[in-house]
Structure 1
Amino acid sequence: VKSDTLMEVGFEIFSEKALARGITTDKADMIVASTPFALVPKGQRALYDIIRERDADFYKRLSDSGFALDFGEDETGLLMKAYRTGSGFYIDVGACELIINGQIAVRSGVGIKSLTPSGILFDDSSELAVDAIISCTGYRSMNETVAAIVSREVADRVGPCWGLGSGVRGDP
């Protein structure tokens, strides 16, 4: 999701425009926190319909460049992915344009077999010459962070730090 679009469309409630209408950060936080989770997916689906339409060309060019993207199993987007699985989302602050214009090469859905003197050999026998390799594999779960800061025992008692029990893949 483009950062600008997310701020203008998705988080407008936290904007200067909202503040001008009398919606302070405290009020915005209360509105968001008091919305029952059962109602959130429908609103997020409608929001991501707007976002997909607004930035359709951007998403097409990004997808055509090899970037694997989706808006969630049920098309509810970033917020629901964060709540449900804590993964599978990216907020673009400029790198996507570098992918689209070819300055950054992306390979999705294929593993790295080995590194070569000039780049990467993939599982499918394709090769890519590169100047640098940045492997974007995500981040560790919050449970691992809790274990590192507090203890494994506490992390195990806490359990997953995400999930709504929605039935979506990855949602505990």
Structure 2
Amino acid sequence: MIDRFGRPSRPSTFAIIAITASIVANMAAAPMVFAVPTTNTVSSELPARSSLTLAQRDEIEEVLTGIAQDIVSNQERMDGQGIISSPVVRFSEDGKSLIVDLGKGYVPKINGGELEDRLREIETPLTFHMEKIFPVYRVDFLFDGKDIYHYFPGDGRPSPPPSGS
């Protein structure tokens, strides 16, 4: 969105609610279409949720970015954080998870519990908002396109749970 001075601006809470209501209403009114794929290839441009158009996906990402921006703007700064750019929220390739890029300035001096708490403050409203549309199975945080272990290589990346659990 652009304000009257030509600067980028965030949508208001009312605009976010209106966009969300519009998306949900359009999805409810849309006829259900069942398609049988004729090939094994799936376009990476389409979300896993076939009921969403690319325009709806973009709208949802914009709304989620606004929610994340509001949260980040109201958080107290942690020791070592630099200039924090606007977060960007997008769907993963498969459409089942969200990717939140907070920028390099969000990285604090210490990778610890305080950072985890701040990330949960962002994650919880995003997943809650998505429950109204469809479930999101994961939220991944990036910092200028890199995961946190790029900035804290000594912390050791947690190993994934064993399969079958």
TM-score by length of 2: 0.31
Higher percent of residues as helix: 1
TM-score by length of 1: 0.30
